[in-house]
């Protein structure tokens, strides 16, 4: 039942809205099909990032894929927490030591989810920054992968979603946006800071590759005119 509900939300309603109305384009999302479990790790500019990534998750894995959301924002009321769990399938976590009493130990809770075969969606910047400007990654993703070296991560670069739904606004603006998936990868280091830096560099490489292809396409278009 849960799978059917999430499929209707993301594979029908949200997919149509994002791809047809807004204009979001996906690249290389097929890499998720053959992965039984993964952690999607992406840059973060907008609340719509989460929904856009859920659209890309294969429908058989939707009910076992959990975006990680800030408890102080998405769980500051029972109704908001209910909606987050119902529509986003999210896990509410603490962003500060003061919140741990309410939401529990973050890494421990996420590790338990991974141990049960679930997948996660994480934004290591911790909060939405300025559109198209990446902040330094927090080390939590490094701690999580160090404790779960058997789980692969998939780097994701999103472009333009910060314009679709800018921080502080709740109206969607149609704007061509892109989501570029990298290759599933296992952490190469066992050092927390190195893992976080490795993933950050992977996403920066995706950004460079994507924009290089975009420039080449624009040059080709100019030459054909």
CA distance 142 to 134: 17
pLDDT tens for each residue of 11-38: 999 999 999 988 899 999 999 999 999 9
pLDDT tens for each residue of 104-123: 588 899 999 999 999 999 99
Q: What is the reported pTM? A: 0.87
What pLDDT is recorded for position 62?
Answer: 94
- Work out the end-to-end distance of the chain between its first and last CA atoms, rounded to an integer number of angstroms: 52
CA distance 164 to 156: 18
Angle (deg, nearest 10), helices 140-147 and 192-224 = 110
Going from N- to C-terminal start, the domains of the chain cover 2-224
Q: Which residues of the chain have pLDDT under 70?
A: 72-73, 75, 95-104, 127-133, 165-173, 218-225
What pLDDT is recorded for position 2?
Answer: 82
Domain 2-224: which CATH number of 3.40.1130.10, 2.70.150.10, 1.10.580.10, 3.40.50.970? 3.40.1130.10
């Amino acid at each position: 039942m849960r799978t059917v509900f999430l499929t209707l939300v993301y594979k029908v309603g949200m997919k149509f809205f994002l791809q047809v109305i807004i204009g979001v384009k996906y690249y290389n999302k097929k890499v998720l099909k053959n992965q039984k479990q993964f952690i999607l790790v992406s840059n973060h500019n907008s609340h719509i990032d989460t929904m856009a990534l859920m659209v890309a998750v294969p429908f058989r894995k939707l009910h076992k894929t959990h975006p990680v959301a800030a408890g102080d924002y998405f769980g500051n009321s029972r109704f908001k927490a209910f909606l987050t769990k119902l529509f986003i399938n999210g896990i509410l976590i603490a962003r500060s030591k003061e919140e741990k009493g309410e939401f529990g130990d973050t890494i421990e809770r996420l590790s338990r989810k991974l141990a049960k075969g679930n997948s996660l969606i994480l934004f290591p910047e911790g909060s939405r920054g300025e559109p198209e400007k990446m902040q330094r990654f927090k080390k939590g993703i490094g701690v999580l992968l160090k404790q779960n070296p058997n789980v692969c991560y998939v780097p994701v670069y999103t472009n333009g979603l910060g314009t679709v739904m800018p921080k502080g606004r709740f109206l969607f603006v149609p704007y061509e946006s892109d989501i570029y998936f990298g290759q599933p990868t296992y952490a190469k280091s066992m050092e927390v800071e190195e893992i976080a830096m490795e993933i950050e560099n992977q996403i920066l490489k995706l950004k460079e590759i994507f924009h290089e292809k975009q420039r080449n396409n624009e040059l080709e278009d100019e030459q054909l005119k």
